[in-house]
Structure 1
């Protein structure tokens, strides 16, 4: 087991059951950043939002560490 497996397990424990709220927060932060930067970095922000949401989905799918 690597340190990254341990981090993923801890993240999955934190995320468990809160996926929608966390993904909503990701969306809100991205929208806030877009509004403050005048959408100058919209593509980068959208990519980061997508990556974070994908991570949340993956962690929720794999479940908490045993």
Structure 2
């Protein structure tokens, strides 16, 4: 067994735990990301609004991918239609900007 195989074997349980936590608390995580984005946007007086929202969207997508790991075909990495994922699934719409 090589080093990479050994690392994968040791990280397996942690990966499952993270996926489970993302499934159970994904909504709360998303709300926290939105609140943090709003605070940062207010502190920077809207100067970096687009970058903040882009980063927030990417973080939410990462949580979503983690939550759907191991759900079977069509979930997890590569399931986002905007990135060549499952056909027939409507693309996500970004949240409206907050003032």
TM-score normalised by length of structure 1: 0.76
* Deviation per residue, 1:10-66 (Å, 9 max, x gap): 532442300000000000000000000001000110010000000011100115xxx
Q: Is 2:33–2:56's contact at 8 Å kept on the other side of the alignment?
A: yes
Query: Which structure 2 residue ranges, 5 or more long, are not aligned?
Result: 71-99
Distance of 2:18 and 2:66 partners within structure 1: 7
How many pairs were matched up? 61
What's the RMSD between the two structures over aligned residues?
A: 2.4
For residue 15 of structure 1, the aligned residue among 22, 29, 53 is 22
The ranges of structure 1 where at least 4 consecutive aligned residues each deviate by more than 3 angstroms after the TM superposition are none
Could you tell me the TM-score, scaled by structure 2's length? 0.52
Greater CA radius of gyration, 1 or 2?
2
